[in-house]
Amino acid sequence: MEEFRLDPVDLTFDLLSNEKAGCRECMPLKNSIKSIEFKGGYIKIYEVKDRVQPSKYQLEGTFFKHSNAHGYEELIVENEKHSSNFLSYSADDIEKLLIIISERLNELKNYDLGKNISVSRYVNGHDYWDLVVLPVPMHNTEKCHVCESLNYTGNREVYKTEKLIAYTPFSPKKNELLRITTIKHTPAEEIDNVLAFDIANFLIKITKKIKKDITFCIKQSGAEHFEIEVMSGNIDPIDILGINRINYSPEETAKKISEKLADGK
Specify the CATH number for the domain of residue 200: 3.30.428.10
Residue among 131, 106, 118 nearest 189 (CA): 106
Q: What is the mean pLDDT of residues 183-189?
A: 96
Angle at 112 between CA 107 and CA 116, to 5 degrees: 85
For residue 146, the surrounding DSSP H or E stretch is helix 145-149
189 and 110 in contact (C-beta within 8 Å)?
Answer: no
User: What DSSP state is assigned to residue 265?
Assistant: -
The confidence score (pLDDT) of residue 14 equals 45
Q: What total number of domains does the chain contain? A: 1
Q: What are the beta bridge partners of residue 69?
A: none
| Pairwise pLDDT comparison (81 vs 256), residue with the higher score | 256
237 and 230 in contact (C-beta within 8 Å)?
Answer: yes
Q: Looking at the domain assignment, is residue 194 inside a domain?
A: yes
The confidence score (pLDDT) of residue 156 equals 95
Q: Given a cut of 50, is residue 84 above it in pLDDT? A: yes
Q: Looking at the domain assignment, is residue 18 inside a domain?
A: no
Residue among 104, 100, 173 nearest 132 (CA): 104
CA distances (Å), origin 7, targets 19, 53, 116: 22, 9, 22
Read off the pLDDT band of 130 (50, 70, 90). confident
Q: Looking at the domain assignment, is residue 158 inside a domain?
A: yes
* DSSP secondary structure letters along 206-228: HHHHHTS--EEEEEE-TT---EE
Is the entire prediction scored with pTM above 0.85? Answer: no
Residues in the chain: 265
Read off the pLDDT band of 25 (50, 70, 90). low
Q: Looking at the domain assignment, is residue 92 inside a domain?
A: yes
Q: What is the mean pLDDT of residues 133-154?
A: 77
Q: Looking at the domain assignment, is residue 171 inside a domain?
A: yes
Residue among 151, 167, 183, 185 nearest 230 (CA): 167
> What do you get for the CA distance between the two ends of the chain, in Å?
39
The confidence score (pLDDT) of residue 50 equals 57
Q: Given a cut of 80, is residue 168 above it in pLDDT? A: yes
Q: Looking at the domain assignment, is residue 206 inside a domain?
A: yes
Q: Given a cut of 70, is residue 68 above it in pLDDT? A: no
- Within a 10 A sphere around the Cβ of 166, how many other Cβ atoms? 27
Average pLDDT taken over every residue of the chain: 79
Read off the pLDDT band of 11 (50, 70, 90). very low
Q: Looking at the domain assignment, is residue 224 inside a domain?
A: yes
- In angstroms, rounded to a whole number, what is the distance separating the alpha carbons of residues 92 and 137? 36
Q: Looking at the domain assignment, is residue 60 inside a domain?
A: yes
Give the domain extent around 39.
27-262
Q: Given a cut of 70, is residue 110 above it in pLDDT? A: yes
| Pairwise pLDDT comparison (8 vs 205), residue with the higher score | 205
Which residues lie below 8 Å from residue 96, measured CB to CB, with a gap of 6+? 38, 196
The confidence score (pLDDT) of residue 7 equals 46
For residue 166, the surrounding DSSP H or E stretch is strand 164-167
Q: Given a cut of 50, is residue 13 above it in pLDDT? A: no
Q: Given a cut of 90, is residue 164 above it in pLDDT? A: yes
